[in-house]
Amino acid sequence: MEGILTTAFYYVLVPLVILGIAINIHEFGHFIVAKFFGMRVEAYSFFGLGPRIWGFKRGHTDYRISAIPLGAYVKLYGDEATGPLEGKDDTTERVPESELYELRPRWQKFLVMIGGPFMNLVLAFSIPFGMALIQGIPSVPAPVIGTVRAEGAAAAAGIQVGDRIVSFNGVENPTWRNISVEAGINPDRKLPMVVERNGQRVSLEITPRKEDVFAGQKAGLLDAEPDMGAVPVVVGVVQPGTPADEAGLKPGDRIVSFNGEAVRNNQQASTLVQKYKSAPISVLVEREGKPLTLTATVRKLEDGTERLGFGFTRPDLPLEKASLGMAVEHAFSTNWENLKATGSVLGQVFSGSRSVKDSGLGGPVGIFQQSAEATRIMGAEGFFLILTVISLSLGIFNLLPIPMLDGGQIMVLAIDKVMSWFGKTLSMVAKERIQLTGLAMILVLMAFVFFLDFSRIASNWGSTSDKPAAEQKK
């Protein structure tokens, strides 16, 4: 029962809360701008489109839950273009013309439309900004190679421990975050890089290995990690029936050395396990403040991999206290990196250099899965990370010139303005038809992303059931 409740919490409640916050902050942007200009708001649907199924009324506004679970909306009196979707105004009282949306100047309508995406961008900025001020900014490790996985992408490229990356895929003096993002969005593609080795620059090419890294999403991996310095190596999980379990290793043990060689960080520990896998490994650990020596031997497990069978706790990067200016810079850079990564992936998809299935693009199912996994693995940090990404994406997406979206409404305002130069205007019938066309486009898009979600799930199931165990985990 506890397992069912935990699963429901992470895979249902958490994603609903994240989406609810992102969508409602968007609608609140429309709502507050309309109220500021004195426009009368007929309805505010916190959940769903279409007919009302439950709600309550305060003043002139009906706060409701609606039948079609495709988001939320704010309905203004006089905005009859959305009548076919949310219904006509149901009031019998005479509404002053000064409160009607349709009779307001175009610039006010524009500000109402832009209010939603603006609030999403504000939220996406505020989260990393606030976290930077409250907890500080994680220190990004220097782009110096600390470990190289045997027979991995980095090893195949000729990268060596101690190399400093000075250029990666055209980016000069990259941070490790730059390198990770570029590798992640370019799986199985040759990328140029330059490293500094023994005072000399060496030009290399690396092909990031494509791997299912998170909630069914595929990304490119370097198979190398930066030098993290000295960070305590603590056992997080021990798999039953593995050499680590048989040797008596327990969660919470701090690993001090392997065969007398001091362990400085998680990356080095992984390297040493592979280095000494041909013979028994003497593992010195610290348990409850006391030293303890255990012996374990690497062997091939049921999944086909050769390892001891334990995992590390994720080391916390040192946090740097942030000034106001540093917090602003951190918030902007975080969102810019997210935008750039998304734009690069979309560009690859449209150019045909990357399949849609491998792009990580998806719909509600994918969002639910990613939200759940991020929160389950990273806790509150993962929750706010996903909320930042979704709010940013929602704000940008709604600016697209598609009817039904805010960008489409702004496009209609622009068309109406141009027509007014010739003494003409868009009729209400024309606006309704534009909205219905937009609805059809949105429904087709929703069907497409649902298809992507379920095809990805089916593909993952197929790969799990059809492949030998040795091929499922690399």
- Whether residues 188 and 152 share a domain: the answer is yes
Q: Is residue 452 part of a domain?
A: yes
pLDDT for the residue numbered 39? 92
- Whether residues 344 and 446 share a domain: the answer is yes
Q: 16: which residues sit within 8 A by CB, 6+ positions away?
A: none
- Whether residues 345 and 439 share a domain: the answer is yes
Q: Which residue has the higher pLDDT, 352 or 277?
A: 277
Mean pLDDT computed over every residue of the chain: 83
| 394 and 22 Cβ atoms separated by less than 8 Å | yes
In total, how many domains does the chain have?
3
Q: Is residue 9 part of a domain?
A: no
- Whether residues 331 and 470 share a domain: the answer is yes
Alpha-carbon dihedral 151, 157, 161, 162, rounded to 10 degrees: -170
pLDDT for the residue numbered 304? 72
* Structure-block tokens of residue 400: 């697209």
The yes-or-no verdict on residue 400 having pLDDT over 60 is: yes
pLDDT for the residue numbered 474? 36
Q: Are strands 209-214 and 61-68 parallel, antiparallel or unpaired?
A: unpaired
The CATH number of whichever domain residue 271 belongs to comes to 2.30.42.10
- Structural domain boundaries enclosing 198: 145-223
pLDDT band at 458, cuts 50/70/90? low
The yes-or-no verdict on residue 391 having pLDDT over 90 is: yes
pLDDT in tens, 94-112: 778 888 888 899 999 999 9
pLDDT band at 214, cuts 50/70/90? low
pTM of the model: 0.74
pLDDT band at 379, cuts 50/70/90? confident
d(C-alpha 336, C-alpha 420), whole Å: 38
